[in-house]
Amino acid sequence: MRRLGVLALCALLLLLGITPMTAVAQGSQSTVIHDLRVLQDGERVDEDLVILGGTLRAEQGSQVLGNVVVMAGEADIAGLIQGDIVGFGGTVQLGPTAEIAGDVVVLGTLRRHPESLVHGNIVEGLAATARLESISNHWLSRSTTLPRRATALPEISRRAPVGLYQTLRSLVLMLGLVLVAALVATALPRNLINTTEAMLRAAPLSMGIGLLTLLLAAFLVPLLIMICIGIPVALALALALLGAMLLAWVAAGHIVGKALLRLLRTERDMLLPETVLGTLLITLVAQIPCIGFLMVLVLASWGLGGVMLTRAGTTGDTFWRPFGPSATPQTPPPSPRPPSPSSTQPDRSRDTKKLYP
């Protein structure tokens, strides 16, 4: 899973639209992002090759002693691959002189010449998803068999950087979310208020719509990536979901911060301190194992539903009337009663005089 984590990080960089670049010697792999990599005749690569949004051309006579991973890119193989070939949302083409010593797992498009030689298994379509985990475990087992240095470090010294890395990652995450909360509270106060009001006014509906949106996104994004043509739509959908999730998390933090300041008997409504304090608090609680995951799922679904109901906070009214402010039908005021005839005629009793005392 560590290699898959590296691939996920590279895919995130791809979502952000980075410029074409080639990163070489990342541990035991070489990564090509938005670029062309050509392996000429007689050239040999002694590590894994990861292609993200780029193109790999392995000519006849070239060799790759590791594995080849293609994500949203192309691979034209005419040489020898000693490991596996994994294609995710891309195109893998095996020429007549191609020879693959391992498996070929393609979750995308595979074009194979009849004279190409594959010593392992060929898995295509949805069946390839079940092979990704086993392939990653196989790579990890291969990486653990590498020779180690004679002077190994103590066990505590090897575990220390892992804990330090997790601590730094948590601090960076909290700082980033606090900055996002301050930015939303300052630049988009009306959107934030509309979203929180919809979350409080229609809490069950908001949570249901948010959970349904997460499930649909988890199904649609991989499906669009698999059909290759829908990759731009999948990237746009992922970016839109990321923005909605950030607004949802900040809105949930604003609700928590406002409730906390009310417990402290603060009379004034302060949008910025409430939002920053609440976002920091729920982000800290989210770091707790098990409990944090459940809280993230509940708050993210609740806030995402509020974002969907208010169209990212652009409107204060929801399309679900039973939970809206206009849910109770307003009865028209009673019409005034018509005046009686006696009240419309003037009083003329003073205009007459008595004839007799």
Q: What is the pLDDT along the chain (357 residues), one digit of tens a residue?
A: 344 344 444 444 443 343 333 333 444 567 777 778 999 999 999 888 888 778 899 999 999 998 998 877 889 999 999 999 988 777 899 999 999 999 998 877 889 999 999 999 888 865 555 555 555 454 444 444 433 333 343 443 344 444 566 677 778 888 999 999 999 999 999 999 999 999 999 899 999 999 999 999 888 888 887 776 677 888 888 899 999 999 999 999 999 988 888 887 766 668 888 899 999 999 988 888 778 888 888 998 999 999 998 988 888 765 555 444 444 445 556 666 666 555 555 555 555 555 555
Instruction: Report the Cα–Cα distance between both ends of the chain, in Å, rounded.
Output: 119
Query: 167-173: long-range contacts (C-beta < 8 A, 24 or more apart)?
Result: 170/287, 173/283
Same domain, 60 and 135: yes
Q: Do residues 175 and 294 share a domain?
A: yes
CA triple 90-28-162, angle to 5 deg: 105
* Residue at 344 is within a domain: no
Distance CA 181, CA 108 (A): 39
Whole-number Å distance between alpha carbons of 302 and 290 = 19
**Is there a single domain that holds both residue 70 and residue 107?**
yes
Show the domain range for 44. Answer: 2-141
Residues 314 and 172 in one domain: yes
Structurally, how many domains does the chain consist of?
2
Rounded to whole angstroms, how far apart are CA atoms 117 and 103? 11
- Examine the domain organization and report whether 133 and 20 are in the same domain: yes
Same domain, 78 and 192: no
> Do 129 and 46 share a structural domain?
yes
Query: Do 33 and 132 share a domain, yes or no?
Result: yes
290 in a domain, yes or no?
yes
